Amino acid sequence: MATVTLLTDAELSPEAAEVFAEIRAARGTEYVNDFWRALAHDPATLRATWDRLSAVMAPGALDPLVKEMVYLAVSTANGCAYCVHSHTTAAKAKGMDTAMHGELLAVIGMAMQTNGLVTALGVAPDAAFQVTRSD
Amino acid sequence: MATVTLLTDAELSPEAAEVFAEIRAARGTEYVNDFWRALAHDPATLRATWDRLSAVMAPGALDPLVKEMVYLAVSTANGCAYCVHSHTTAAKAKGMDTAMHGELLAVIGMAMQTNGLVTALGVAPDAAFQVTRSD
Amino acid sequence: MATVTLLTDAELSPEAAEVFAEIRAARGTEYVNDFWRALAHDPATLRATWDRLSAVMAPGALDPLVKEMVYLAVSTANGCAYCVHSHTTAAKAKGMDTAMHGELLAVIGMAMQTNGLVTALGVAPDAAFQVTRSD
Amino acid sequence: MATVTLLTDAELSPEAAEVFAEIRAARGTEYVNDFWRALAHDPATLRATWDRLSAVMAPGALDPLVKEMVYLAVSTANGCAYCVHSHTTAAKAKGMDTAMHGELLAVIGMAMQTNGLVTALGVAPDAAFQVTRSD
Amino acid sequence: MATVTLLTDAELSPEAAEVFAEIRAARGTEYVNDFWRALAHDPATLRATWDRLSAVMAPGALDPLVKEMVYLAVSTANGCAYCVHSHTTAAKAKGMDTAMHGELLAVIGMAMQTNGLVTALGVAPDAAFQVTRSD
Amino acid sequence: MATVTLLTDAELSPEAAEVFAEIRAARGTEYVNDFWRALAHDPATLRATWDRLSAVMAPGALDPLVKEMVYLAVSTANGCAYCVHSHTTAAKAKGMDTAMHGELLAVIGMAMQTNGLVTALGVAPDAAFQVTRSD
């Protein structure tokens, strides 16, 4: 089920093939997951997405596992089943164990709950939460 | 702006007052933010929310700052302005500096973008992402 | 703050004025809230929305208060602050008291929470939930 | 398809088994649906979710069927297919017939539509919807 | 998988059969997709949905292909897999080629990303974006 | 109200100042809206967002006004008030008149409504909507 075909390696444009080679090199596996095979119909967006994803998810002020868990949290709130599955797999590969997974889900559930309560209560942000020039 | 009044300390039921005392003790400040003042109309939900929040956000397999950032990510995806403001404030209080904040937002933005691309492409999760009994 | 002006009665087209008259008659008040004043720039959508809203919210197999509470629940999940405020007001006018309001919010919060947990767990609907021809 | 395995009864921890026993007793059936089998990897969240769900969905100022319909409405707006299926099943079991189901969906659809219109029009909540101290 | 059965032509009420005849005439095909077969349990909502959809999607100030792409964009943001599939099919039938599809998805992804960034930054709309009476 | 300060021109880093110069040149105005002033705390994301936005929104297989309307549609579904205001302004600047705005909102509202109905009905995409290799 998809709105476009999943391109095989043989069907890739040269530009897309180049991105696939980078994905394989970065991940150390021949396997390229179906999101990229669907996105490859548009080599420009494939390139832009891969380049930006690589930059954003690289180690920095936050470690890669924290970034994966944040990615998974956003994907959950947006109801993206594919993203939930792919980023759970990625987070486990980066060290998320059962206890961490459980706590992550508990935080997501708690946030969803209070997001709903706050919205239904219609409360405006406290003045204390406002950032001022002197911060 | 709210759909209920924000209760003053004098207007709290004894059950709500007890929760407020716990919030103040846990946070080491007299200040109780407006979400709790709105929620206090329903002491049972106030109690359940505070108890569960305290348990979920406590140090565990994930550290409290990571939990705050995940909370902020979910609140962003759900479009809860109040929650975004309150949990940004909380995350800063727990050590999120400008660089971490910037990376967090970059990950959130990236996740939102690929959530949209994946959903529009209609791709089903790869078999490789499926968890099996032997995992 | 709005993306269009809020039309005064004097600025309404004849078609829009007719709808405003029906809103006033149905509600027994001269007051017409700002949503309709913004929507009045497009008399066809104003007419279609009012007609359908009147039909959908009328007493039927479900009573009007239940419908208002469902409307409020959907508006909360969608993060529509205006709708949350207008339908909380409407629900109170139809009899929602503090206890009912509190329970409604507790259910909304609970649903938000388990929506998040289920999505993050990636569980497919049980076969037992499937409707079959013989149902 | 799931991001964790679905635990069999034999795989449950003692804490999880105790919750399963309570689910079975409360529902009067041996059948425990897959959400709980996935959640059982984290006995603390399983316990907290079941306890709070039981309290929130119990008869009170709102009757259980109304609560199920509100739950279904939120789950629909959040796009949670599992929750839509499980709570439609539950609502039918509590008395939701075809006419009620049809009206419920009509209200959900109407709310979704006006949520979108209001958001696109950018209208701020009327002063008339504001709650004041004297309310 | 559905929460109601998909009605066959033989199971339709006379009112629903009339709508199905109009769908077939308007689309020039005998095929009626499953959404309508599920919705047909409630002939009043079936009728209202079809009538409004026909009016809204007709050629006007915007051409039908633009409308389909907007429909697809909204369906993507709401995470409605069925709608994404049906409106991608419809957009292709109305002339959306691979290049247009690619650009559409790139815009959707970009919007999702900046929606997230703006929400996390908590920025209020600029005064310059406000509509005034003199506009 | 924001979670970061809005940087003045004097507070910009050299990298951010360069992006601001490009925004001003591309738009032919000295005015830089507040989203960019908030984002400027993270010059890398500022640069990446501006570069990608410029590429995605440029004339191509779809014209810039269509792209603005799609952007507005996504922003509406995601409930981003800032984005709704900024992209309505932008769409008007690119030629969206009152009739087009009205039709755009009608399509958004219709899509929201059927997104809700389809999700609540739980219908799976028809086989007829599936893309196959031979497409």
Q: What is the DSSP letter of A4?
A: S
For residue range B25-40, list pLDDT tens digits in order: 999 999 999 999 999 9
CA-based nearest residue to F113, from D113, E34, E50: D113
Are F39 and F46 within 8 A, CB to CB?
Answer: yes
Tell me, yes or no, whether D71 and D21 share the same domain: no
Q: At what angle do helices D14-27 and D43-57 cross, to 10 degrees?
A: 20
d(CA C76, CA D125): 14
Query: And the tokens for F135?
Result: 């497409």
Task: Give contacts of E3 with chain C, Cβ < 8 Å.
Answer: 131
Tally of domains within chain E = 2
CA dist list (Å): F20 to A48, B134, F47: 21, 54, 9
Task: Report the C-alpha dihedral over residues D62, D66, D71, D77, rounded to 10 degrees.
Answer: -120
Q: What is the pLDDT of residue F130?
A: 87
Q: What is the pLDDT of residue C73?
A: 98
3-state class of A128 per DSSP?
Answer: helix
ipTM score of complex? 0.96
Tell me, yes or no, whether C50 and C71 share the same domain: no
Tell me, yes or no, whether B74 and B32 share the same domain: no
Q: What is the pLDDT of residue C134?
A: 45
| F74 min Cα distance to partner chain C (Å) | 13
Q: Give me the residue from A39, A81, A107 closest to B117, CB to CB.
A: A39
Are E102 and A38 within 8 A, CB to CB?
Answer: no
Question: How many C-beta atoms surround the C-beta of residue F126 within 10 A?
Answer: 18
d(CA D121, CA C7): 13
B132 pLDDT more than 80: no
Q: Is B45 in contact with C102 (Cβ distance < 8 A)? A: yes
Interface residues on F facing C, Cβ-Cβ cutoff 8 A:
79, 81, 84-85, 88, 98, 101-103, 105-106, 109, 116, 122
Task: Give contacts of C1 with chain F, Cβ < 8 Å.
Answer: 81, 85
Tell me, yes or no, whether A52 and A26 share the same domain: yes
Residue C19 Cα to chain centre, angstroms: 18
Q: Is A134 domain-assigned?
A: no
Three-class secondary structure assignment of chain C: CCCCCCCCHHHCCHHHHHHHHHHHHHHCCCCCCHHHHHHCCCHHHHHHHHHHHHHHHCCCCCCHHHHHHHHHHHHHHCCCHHHHHHHHHHHHHCCCCHHHHHHHHHHHHHHHHHHHHHHHHCCCCCHHHCCCCCC
Tell me, yes or no, whether F95 and F41 share the same domain: no
What CATH number corresponds to the domain at position B22?
1.20.1290.10
Q: Is C109 in contact with B45 (Cβ distance < 8 A)? A: yes
Q: Which chain E residue lies closest to A45 (C-alpha atoms)? A: E106
| D21 min Cα distance to partner chain F (Å) | 30
d(CA E32, CA E42): 16
Q: Is F71 domain-assigned?
A: yes
CA dist list (Å): F112 to D49, D76, D113, D116, D121: 30, 11, 5, 6, 15
* DSSP secondary structure of chain F: --SS----GGG--HHHHHHHHHHHHHHTSS---HHHHHHTTSHHHHHHHHHHHHHHHSSSSS-HHHHHHHHHHHHHHTT-HHHHHHHHHHHHHTT--HHHHHHHHHHHHHHHHHHHHHHHHTPPPPGGG---TT-
d(CA C133, CA E11): 11
For residue range C69-123, list pLDDT tens digits in order: 999 999 999 999 999 999 999 999 999 999 999 999 999 999 999 999 999 999 9
Q: Give me the residue from D72, D115, D122 closest to F112, CB to CB.
A: D115
**Burial class of residue E7 (count of CB atoms within 10 Å of its CB; 0-12, 13-18, 19+):** buried
Q: Which domain holds residue D6?
A: 1-58
Q: What is the b/e burial string over F94-123, where b = at least 16 CB atoms within 10 angstroms of the residue's CB?
A: eebeeebbbbbbbbbbbbbbbbbbbbbbbb
d(CA F109, CA F107): 5
Q: Is F131 in contact with A4 (Cβ distance < 8 A)? A: yes
Q: Is D84 in contact with F113 (Cβ distance < 8 A)? A: no
d(CA F105, CA D41): 45
Best residue in F78, F84, F96, F131 for a mutation probing chain E (most E CBs within 10 Å): F78
Query: And the tokens for C69?
Result: 């509470």
Q: Is C85 in contact with B4 (Cβ distance < 8 A)? A: no
For residue range D62-103, list pLDDT tens digits in order: 999 999 999 999 999 999 999 999 999 999 999 999 999 999
Q: Is E3 in contact with D109 (Cβ distance < 8 A)? A: no
For residue range C15-74, list pLDDT tens digits in order: 999 999 999 999 999 999 999 999 999 999 999 999 999 999 999 999 999 999 999 999
d(CA A4, CA E72): 14
Q: Is F128 domain-assigned?
A: no
| C28 min Cα distance to partner chain D (Å) | 16
Instruction: Round the average pLDDT of chain E to a whole number and report it.
Output: 96
Q: Is B130 domain-assigned?
A: no
3-state class of D131 per DSSP?
Answer: coil
For residue range E47-62, list pLDDT tens digits in order: 999 999 999 999 999 9
Question: How many C-beta atoms surround the C-beta of residue C131 within 10 A?
Answer: 18
Tell me, yes or no, whether B19 and B69 share the same domain: no
Number of C-alpha atoms within 13 angstroms, CB side, residue C50? 26
Tell me, yes or no, whether C110 and C64 share the same domain: yes
CA-based nearest residue to B85, from B34, B24, B48: B34
d(CA F118, CA F129): 15
Tell me, yes or no, whether A44 and A76 share the same domain: no
| F79 min Cα distance to partner chain B (Å) | 6
Instruction: Round the average pLDDT of chain C to a whole number and report it.
Output: 96
Tell me, yes or no, whether E53 and E69 share the same domain: no
Rg (CA), chain D: 19
CA dist list (Å): F44 to A19, B31, B102, B106, D32: 22, 36, 9, 9, 49
Q: Is F85 in contact with C49 (Cβ distance < 8 A)? A: no
Dihedral class, residue B12 (left if φ above 0, else alpha if ψ from -120 to 50, else beta): beta
| A2 min Cα distance to partner chain E (Å) | 8
Question: How many C-beta atoms surround the C-beta of residue A98 within 10 A?
Answer: 12
CA-based nearest residue to E57, from E46, E68, E47: E68
Position F28, amino acid: G
Tell me, yes or no, whether A31 and A70 share the same domain: no
The mean pLDDT value for B107-129 works out to: 97
Domain boundary among B10, B33, B58: B58
Tell me, yes or no, whether B17 and B71 share the same domain: no
Q: Give me the residue from F1, F44, F133 closest to A130, CB to CB.
A: F1
Question: How many C-beta atoms surround the C-beta of residue A44 within 10 A?
Answer: 15
Cα D25–Cα D30–Cα D33 angle in degrees, nearest 5: 100
d(CA F131, CA A5): 6
The mean pLDDT value for A83-90 works out to: 98
Question: How many C-beta atoms surround the C-beta of residue B33 within 10 A?
Answer: 21
Q: What is the pLDDT of residue C133?
A: 55
Give the confidence band of E133 by pLDDT, cuts at 50, 70, 90. low
CA dist list (Å): A93 to A61, A65, A89, A96: 20, 9, 6, 7
Domain boundary among B14, B34, B58: B58
Tell me, yes or no, whether A54 and A64 share the same domain: no
d(CA A35, CA A82): 9
Q: Is F91 domain-assigned?
A: yes
d(CA A4, CA E89): 10
Q: Is B60 in contact with A99 (Cβ distance < 8 A)? A: yes
Higher pLDDT, B17 or F131: B17
3-state class of B49 per DSSP?
Answer: helix
Q: What is the DSSP letter of A105?
A: H
E16 pLDDT more than 80: yes
Q: What is the largest CA-CA distance in chain C?
A: 58
Domain boundary among F17, F34, F58: F58
Task: Give contacts of E2 with chain C, Cβ < 8 Å.
Answer: 130-131
Residue A94 Cα to chain centre, angstroms: 14
Q: Is C81 domain-assigned?
A: yes
d(CA C18, CA C37): 13
B-E contacts at Cβ under 8 angstroms: 68
Phi then psi dihedrals of residue C58, to 5 deg: -65, 155
CA-based nearest residue to E71, from F68, F77, F106, F111: F111
Phi then psi dihedrals of residue B30, to 5 deg: -75, -20
For residue range F70-124, list pLDDT tens digits in order: 999 999 999 999 999 999 999 999 999 999 999 999 999 999 999 999 999 999 9
Q: Is F102 in contact with C44 (Cβ distance < 8 A)? A: yes
Best residue in C4, C42, C129 for a mutation probing chain F (most F CBs within 10 Å): C42
Task: Give contacts of C120 with chain D, Cβ < 8 Å.
Answer: 3
The mean pLDDT value for E100-117 works out to: 98
Q: Is D49 domain-assigned?
A: yes
A132 pLDDT more than 90: no
Q: Is F97 domain-assigned?
A: yes
Best residue in F105, F107, F113 for a mutation probing chain C (most C CBs within 10 Å): F105
For residue range E69-100, list pLDDT tens digits in order: 999 999 999 999 999 999 999 999 999 999 99
Q: Is D102 in contact with E74 (Cβ distance < 8 A)? A: no
Q: What is the pLDDT of residue D132?
A: 73
F43 pLDDT more than 60: yes
Q: What is the pLDDT of residue E130?
A: 87
Q: Provide CB contacts within 8 A for D88, sequence distance 6+.
A: C129, D72, D96, D101, E3, F120, F122
Q: Is F52 in contact with A55 (Cβ distance < 8 A)? A: no
Task: Give contacts of C88 with chain B, Cβ < 8 Å.
Answer: 3
Interface residues on C facing A, Cβ-Cβ cutoff 8 A:
72, 76-77, 79, 81, 84-85, 88, 104-105, 108-117, 119-122
Q: What is the pLDDT of residue F133?
A: 56
Query: And the tokens for F87?
Result: 């992209």
